[in-house]
Structure 1
Amino acid sequence: MAPRANWKGYLKIAEVTCPVALYTAASTSERMAFHTVNRETGHRVHRQFIDSETGDPVEREDQVKGYGVGDDDYVILEPEEITAAVPASDKTLSVDAFIACDDIDNVYFDRPYYLAPADKNAEESFFLICKGMQAANVAAIAQTVLFRRVRTLLIRAHGPGMIATTLNYDYEVRSAREAFEDIPKMKIKGEMLDLAKHIIDTKMGEFDPREFDDRYEAALADLVKAKLEGKPIPKLKVIQPGKVIDLMEALRQSAGREKGGAGTKKAAGTSRRSAAAKGKKTAKKKAAPARRKAG
């Protein structure tokens, strides 16, 4: 069954208009989920908003948004006032410009979505736009009202479809200069640079997200599985910090190791991945009845 679209509207480039739909490309729904429970009764607990001065509970109808302008001094905004501030939407993803793909600074990337034709009638115009962007090696900059805010999106061709990535605003992105200002200027050359290049060359590969394990998620799955089966809790592995040695010697040792044992790493990674996925799947399956009962 096709996934449910997060948003539907129109992609507009000059006089060409195409009905499109956005679908979530990244989701956290598969992560382990926990409830807060009363240790004594085993019942779920719920949050309650309390007045910071009186200590009295505040009902939902009495809760409003406030912008702080001083100590305990707020500008109160009523729900209808906030609603009125939401920009009007014509459901149009209007392309403002095309830019070269190499000109994109991904520090501005926020959240990716898949962009696809909304119906059969849109397929020809969608395919034309997608193939035209691929041939020119460009991405499109567009704006629309998305989830109650005006958002800027970067649209790129991706296989038979496109990816639309919401972008952070300039004021949201911190200057790299602030983060890097304490890094001194240095020159590295000679044997040290050659060894560093050699180590990099021996570790060259291709990006494969399946190679990266979520070790925390796997550990949680093992913990839940052990608790359900009444087995001993897995012990926390303590990683000892490595000894501080001369940089040149460290490079030589790394280069020597990479010559010998690079071939088995991929197989070992695949094995760990399979075991972690199996443990997580088992834990979720066994935990499901308990979650339904608690809910």
Structure 2
Amino acid sequence: MRAIWKGAVSFGLVSVPVKLYSATESHDVSFRQVHQADGGRIRYQRICSIDGEEVPYSEIAKGYETEDGEMVILTDDDFANLPTTSSREIAVEKFVPSDQIDPMLFEKSYYLEPENTGVKPYALLRQALQDADRVALVTVALRQRTSIAALRVRETENGDVIVLQTMMWPDEIRVPDFKVEPGEVKDSEIKMANMLVETLAGDFTPDDFSDDYAEAVDEMVKAKIEGGEVERTPTSTKTSGEVVDLLAALQRSVADAKKSRGEKVPKEAKEAKDEGDEKSKGKKSKKAS
């Protein structure tokens, strides 16, 4: 890992010299647009929409488009006068309960490593966060722009590490422009839904999940490189598209989940599953005839 920023966390009169590392990396599958005939990469030209001429990088500027479509061209001098900051301080503003921060506000995560002279104050801040069971709300200047962020402690294979999570500004969270009606559900449906939740309850273990798409693409590419044929495998269970009774579907889900775990299936769930299975057999026999 390579440090992308150096500075210091300050809380009260305590200063903690730290290095900042990106805590995440994307494994998204990316493709390039190529010429199907020979595999050559497709290149794009920078064409001006007004005169139709190709524009060199030296003549490209930043433009801000207003709501009425006007384009305002900004120069380096304009940006020099903006209220940016190059401060190397992560200033703790307050310590707040973690449940007061909407998870939607979190943007990107970074690990904080103490410099040699900051090991003791780093341990002090880490212990204070753990004992208080709170997160530190901070301001930090990254890429010349001040952001709000949260400091919390994360348990890792190499010990407990302080994590800095940059946050979006509250007005950057969009409000849905649609309304969800409450709907009417029966007590029996709620009861069975709760039973399904309890049946599928468990602890979150990240290793239980994998990126099937990325793995499939990787295998497909390897097969093509080796000159083998690519075998298509189903990626999801197809449904018949029929509208089923909500309660019956929940009951069958509970029965299937409990059966797969070797647990006793509730009577009402077993009856619903048997009834559903019989209906499925009946439809298959009609299709066969």
What's the TM-score once normalised by structure 1's chain length? 0.79
1:231 aligns to 2:228 (yes or no):
yes
User: Residue 46 of structure 2 aligns with which residue?
Assistant: 49
Retained in 2: the 8 A contact 1:21–1:116?
yes
User: Residue 137 of structure 1 aligns with which residue?
Assistant: 133
User: Residue 249 of structure 2 aligns with which residue?
Assistant: 250
User: Residue 166 of structure 1 aligns with which residue?
Assistant: 166
CA displacement at 1:83 relative to structure 2: 4.5
1:240 aligns to 2:248 (yes or no):
no
User: Residue 123 of structure 1 aligns with which residue?
Assistant: 119
Retained in 2: the 8 A contact 1:32–1:221?
no
Retained in 2: the 8 A contact 1:222–1:234?
no
2: CA distance, partners of 1:228 / 1:185: 53
Residues 260-287 of structure 1, C-alpha deviations (whole Å, 9 max, x = no match): 1136xxxxxxxxxxxxxxxxxxxxxxxx
Tell me which amino acid in the other structure corresponds to 2:161: G
User: Residue 14 of structure 2 aligns with which residue?
Assistant: 16
1:152 aligns to 2:148 (yes or no):
yes
Q: Give the match's secondary structure for 2:45.
A: coil
Retained in 2: the 8 A contact 1:140–1:155?
yes
User: Residue 291 of structure 1 aligns with which residue?
Assistant: none
Retained in 1: the 8 A contact 2:85–2:145?
no
User: Residue 280 of structure 1 aligns with which residue?
Assistant: none
CA displacement at 1:126 relative to structure 2: 0.5
1: CA distance, partners of 2:136 / 2:142: 17
Residues 176-233 of structure 1, C-alpha deviations (whole Å, 9 max, x = no match): 6x45x232254652x3222212211111111111212212212211221222122223
Q: Give the match's secondary structure for 1:129.
A: helix
Q: Bigger shift: 18-27 or 75-84?
A: 75-84
Tell me which amino acid in the other structure corresponds to 1:234: E
Q: Give the match's secondary structure for 1:158.
A: strand
2: CA distance, partners of 1:239 / 1:261: 17
1: CA distance, partners of 2:167 / 2:147: 7
**Aligned-pair RMSD on alpha carbons?**
2.2
CA displacement at 1:33 relative to structure 2: 4.1
| Higher relative contact order structure (alpha carbons within 8 Å, sequence separation ≥ 6) | 1
What's the TM-score once normalised by structure 2's chain length? 0.81
1:219 aligns to 2:216 (yes or no):
yes
Residues 250, 214 of structure 1: alpha-carbon distance in 2 compared, 3 angstrom cutoff: same
2: CA distance, partners of 1:109 / 1:182: 25
Residues 67, 230 of structure 1: alpha-carbon distance in 2 compared, 3 angstrom cutoff: same
CA displacement at 1:241 relative to structure 2: 2.8
2: CA distance, partners of 1:227 / 1:218: 14
Tell me which amino acid in the other structure corresponds to 1:153: A
1: CA distance, partners of 2:40 / 2:87: 46
2: CA distance, partners of 1:239 / 1:252: 19
Alignment of 1:52-63 (within 5 A): 52-63=49-60
CA displacement at 1:171 relative to structure 2: 1.3
2: CA distance, partners of 1:188 / 1:91: 58
Give the length in aligned residue pairs: 256
CA displacement at 1:47 relative to structure 2: 2.6
User: Residue 281 of structure 2 aligns with which residue?
Assistant: none
Alignment of 1:47-126 (within 5 A): 47-69=44-66, 73-85=70-82, 87-117=84-114, 119-126=115-122
2: CA distance, partners of 1:90 / 1:167: 18
Q: Give the match's secondary structure for 2:195.
A: helix
1: CA distance, partners of 2:55 / 2:247: 63
CA displacement at 1:251 relative to structure 2: 1.5
2: CA distance, partners of 1:197 / 1:216: 31
Q: Give the match's secondary structure for 1:85.
A: coil
Tell me which amino acid in the other structure corresponds to 1:173: I
Tell me which amino acid in the other structure corresponds to 1:230: G
User: Residue 265 of structure 2 aligns with which residue?
Assistant: none
Runs of 4+ in 1 over 6 A off after TM superposition: none
Retained in 1: the 8 A contact 2:85–2:146?
no
Alignment of 1:191-210 (within 5 A): 191-210=188-207
